[in-house]
Structure 1
Amino acid sequence: MADHGIPHFHNDAGVAVIHVGAHEFMCIGAKPPFDHPHVYLDMGADHEIVCPYCSTLFKYDASLKAGACSPPDCAHHEAAKAA
């Protein structure tokens, strides 16, 4: 089992910008069940990217940890599923 995964972020609040601590992450749009297809975004050498589904602007912030974001409520953590 992996000790970490790709961070997931949502924009349920409809904020103009989400600052993230990772260059690679998933945007899910809104919280389930109103989410869009979970799209993998990679900023590469850039420091910002726009989600092609929901048009949320994500900006890299080196002061944040890899899975963290500002506003902090935009981080999405999926609940573990029972086997």
Structure 2
Amino acid sequence: MAQSLVPHYVNDIGVNRIKIGVKEFQCMGASPPQDHPHVYLDMGSENEVICPYCSTLYVYDVALAPTESEPDGCVYVATAPAGAPAA
């Protein structure tokens, strides 16, 4: 599976708020297989948005890159399953 251009975020640690470096992204809730439907969220002119599925508050932080989050570990990176052939 190719990594999408739209960052995906997960809240495996169950915090109330996650700071991110983008205003358009997808929330997955948790890592598969416990994920909820992947919902596209767009903050628009605001600096925060709440996921309608898991109620995680996402806050835009200009100091963070799209590959960073605060707390660490909330950026989802798709990986091939063990034993899958290389592309």
Instruction: Say whether the fold is shared (TM-score over 0.5).
Output: yes
- The answer for the alignment partner of 2:9 in structure 1 is 9
Query: What amino acid is the match of 2:10?
Result: H
1:72 CA drift (Å): 1.6
Q: Which runs of 5+ in 1 are unaligned?
A: none
1:66 CA drift (Å): 2.2
Write the deviation string for residues 32-81 of structure 1: whole angstroms up to 9, x where unpaired. 00000000000000000000000000000000012321112111001147
Contact kept, 8 Å, 1:22 with 1:67, in 2: the verdict is no
Say how many residue pairs are matched: 82
- The answer for the alignment partner of 1:37 in structure 2 is 37
Which structure has the greater CA radius of gyration?
2
1:22 CA drift (Å): 0.0
Quote the RMSD (CA, aligned, Å).
2.0
Q: State TM-score, norm by structure 2.
A: 0.85
How many Å separate the matches in 2 of 1:67 and 1:25? 11
Q: How does 1:15-34 map to 2 (within 5 A)?
A: 15-34=15-34
Report the 3-state secondary structure (helix = DSSP H, G, I; strand = E; otherwise coil) of the residue aligned with 2:73: helix
